[in-house]
Amino acid sequence: MEQEHKSVQKMWKNYLTSIGENDGNTNKNYTSWYFCDNEKSANDLAKLVREGIKRGTTSLYYWYELENEELPTEDNYSIITDWNGIAQCIIRIKKVDVLPFKDVNEEFAEIEGEGDKSLKYWQKAHIDFFTTELKEQEMEFSQEMLVVCEEFEVVYK
């Protein structure tokens, strides 16, 4: 497992202090991660989150199954980093839905805040990304595949 950049732990500590939970007796935990599979996208999307434009993200349910990983839940916290692992902001999940890709609507595409924020743009970008991701598993993307749609808010910059 990769070592967290010191900025991640520092940001989390500063956040806890800002909400009066700096004594170490907190029940809050966090994950830290960056978006996408390349530096430009990771950094661009982290900036959109910091600016409050990107307020959601979508991933394939398949990856949670494959990795036997728990799905995100409401009130989970994540520190969004840039490609190099440097903390950019802290988000709190507000809502999680699991649904077929084809059922994601215009409202959620706008919440994701990417491109022109249209459903058409959202679909193309995600189909391209998921298709590339699935090639490693020798799988093909299908509009019937389940996706995990997370809505979040920035709680600390």
Tens of pLDDT, residue by residue over 23-61, are 666 778 899 999 998 999 999 999 999 999 999 999 999
Q: From CA 20, how far away is CA 67, in angstroms rounded?
A: 35
Long-range contacts of 126-130 (CB under 8 A, 24+ apart): 126/58, 126/101, 129/36, 129/37, 130/60, 130/101
Q: What is the pTM of this model?
A: 0.91
Question: What are the residue ranges spanned by the domains of the chain?
Answer: 6-151
Architecture in CATH for domain 6-151: Roll (3.10)
Buried b (16+ CB within 10 A) or exposed e, 11-35: bbeebbeeeeeeeeeeeeebebebb
The three-class DSSP label of residue 140 is coil
pLDDT tens-place string over residues 68-92: 999 999 999 999 999 999 999 999 9
